[in-house]
Amino acid sequence: MSTPPFFEGDSQCATVMVRRSSTSGESTGSYRRITRRRALSAIGATATATMAGCLDGGGGGDGDGGTDTTTDGGGGNGTTDGMEGTTAGTTVTGPEGTVRIGVVQPLSGDLSYYGQSAIWGFASGLAYKTDTDPIPEVTTGEHVVEAGDVTYELEVRDTELNPDTAQERATQLVDQDDVDILFGPTSSGAAERIISTVVRPSGTPIMVGPAASTSITSEAEYCGDMVFRASENTAMDARSGGTYAADNTDISTVFLMGADYSFGRSVVSNYKSVLQEKDIEIVGERYVPQGHEDFDGLFQNAQDAGADAVVGGFTVATLPAFMTTAANYDMRIFGGFATQITNGIVGDVLKNLLGEPLTAQKIKDAKIGPFTTRYHWNQYDNSINDEFVQMHTETYGLVPDLFASGVFTGASAIVQAVNESGSTGGADIANQIQGMAVTDTPKGENGYLFQGYNNQARSEMTVAYPVPTSDEWAENWGASIMPESPPTARVSSDFTTIPADSDMMNCSL
């Protein structure tokens, strides 16, 4: 079956992209050291030309993982589906003062890696934009980044992955610590609680991330002028991966499974909407508690219902048991790529089930994938991502993970807003971010655009099959499988988020 026009393939056309060579070195944790970009500027950069393939799609991709310039308003000047772009030539220089950012992420418990990796990505975005080094250690308390006449103070608090604790910490940050803007959390339930009980009553802006429930930026109960999200959400997974699977695989019937809370229900509802639009029959829909282990009965139900494929809306607490059972049934499994932790567990499951050596062909033959990737380090080839991957790996010992691009972009947008507005005030920062095309992102220059109707940034997504981790990345990835590179398909940002006129969009700013 041919690829639909909004999927950017890897060999349809080519553009030339110039990438600076990079230097290596250890991070010392000093924000006043000679940084990588200063060193490059001093000694001169060696340019290397690389080729990136794309499918024209009627407008032509930018070849470096960025968005379609003819429909996204590439430089931030266009408007599409109620979106607003920033106006060229309006940059205000010379901001002075302090921006206090209240960070609410889980830093303890079984999923502390989620919070750590989110802060690593955010700190890397802040470092890239301020020409400093990333915060070397993620701990609770205050972390200071000096950038000329502007000081960025990060007040980090541990939510313990608990909505009650998240609300308490966010309230303290606003009422007692006088932060200008909030960043976080990981849990969608915690994000919704903070928006309802802290952001709205106080008028404090929040850059949500990596919490992924669609409702945060699609339901009137939560969306608002002060609620922003650069991080990708479950609708973006469904709209890209679901459409690709419907148009490029042999599925005609799908059984939906999800964790019984906001994330799982958001995954299921969005896949259901997308698949039904593509005339795929939904033959069942089931929810289970987080940590559910016995999936045999559900897969038997799916098989009895005649399902060709199963979608699983689960995170690390439940996904391993789901995948272990899935391998025993002749159904295609698709959904979204997960973090390094889950990839490690799923990779071990696949090795046990499919035998060693694990190969890409064995995985494809087992009908595992393809999966949507919100971001992984090897999906985008551009100078910003190159530097991001290098600084992140040098500082934290791991390549950037699933959440990294969205939270990097959230930090990048905040600094861009400060520089363009000339103000360090929270309200001024929020006003500037509305409709912003974010200049510096791991998906390329202007790779994210905040939609004017709901403050959700849209960006390109990729679709890829799992493959065994290559020797090049084994030391800094830590999982036995990774997304293939280049990806199977690229999905233009025009098609990844819910349009303003959709029945599923109940937000109008």
Tell me, what's the pLDDT at 227?
98
Q: Token pair 């005609």 is at which residue?
A: 252
Q: Using CA atoms, how far apart are residues 119 and 102, in angstroms rounded to an integer?
A: 12
Q: Are 181 and 102 in contact (CB under 8 A)?
A: yes
Residues 6+ apart with CB under 8 A from 108: 158, 160
Residue with tokens 């404090």: 204
Alpha-helix residue ranges (DSSP H) falling in 214-295: 234-237, 243-248, 262-277
Query: What are the extents of the domains in the chain?
Result: 7-72, 97-234+381-460, 235-373+465-472+479-491
> Which tens digit of pLDDT belongs to each residue from 224-238?
999 999 999 999 999
b (16+ CB within 10 A) / e for 236-245? bbbbbbbbbb
Which residues does the chain have with pLDDT short of 50?
1-89, 92
Query: Taken in order 292, 294, 299, 301, is the CA torsion positive or negative?
Result: negative
Kindly report, residue by residue over 102-136, the tens digit of the pLDDT: 999 999 988 899 999 999 999 999 999 999 999 99
Second CATH level (architecture) for the domain 97-234+381-460: 3-Layer(aba) Sandwich (3.40)
Per-residue pLDDT, 62 = 29
β-pair partners for 273: none
Q: Supply the pLDDT for residue 398.
A: 98
CB 116 within 8 A of CB 384: no
Which residues, other chains included, contact 53 with Cβ-Cβ below 8 Å and sequence gap of 6+? Answer: 9, 10, 11, 12, 13, 14, 63, 486
- Of 236, 232, 230, nearest in space to 440 by CA: 230
Cis, peptide link before residue 486, omega less than 30° from 0: yes
Quote the CA–CA distance of 296 and 257 in Å, as a whole number: 13
Q: Integer distance in angstroms from the first to the last C-alpha of the chain?
A: 40
Closest CA to 67 of 436, 504, 497, 491: 491
pTM: 0.81
CATH architecture of 235-373+465-472+479-491: 3-Layer(aba) Sandwich (3.40)
Nearest to 9 by CA among 495, 493, 496, 487: 487
Q: Kindly compute the dihedral angle of the four CA atoms of residues 293, 296, 297, 298, in this order, to the nearest 10 degrees.
A: 80
User: H-helix or E-strand containing 459?
Assistant: strand 457-459
Q: Rounded CA gap, 315 and 150, in Å? A: 38
Sorted by sequence, the CB contacts under 8 Å of residue 260 that are 6+ apart come out as 287, 288, 289, 290
The pLDDT of residue 125 is 98
pLDDT at 6: 36
Please give the Cα distance from 179 to 192 (Å, whole number): 19
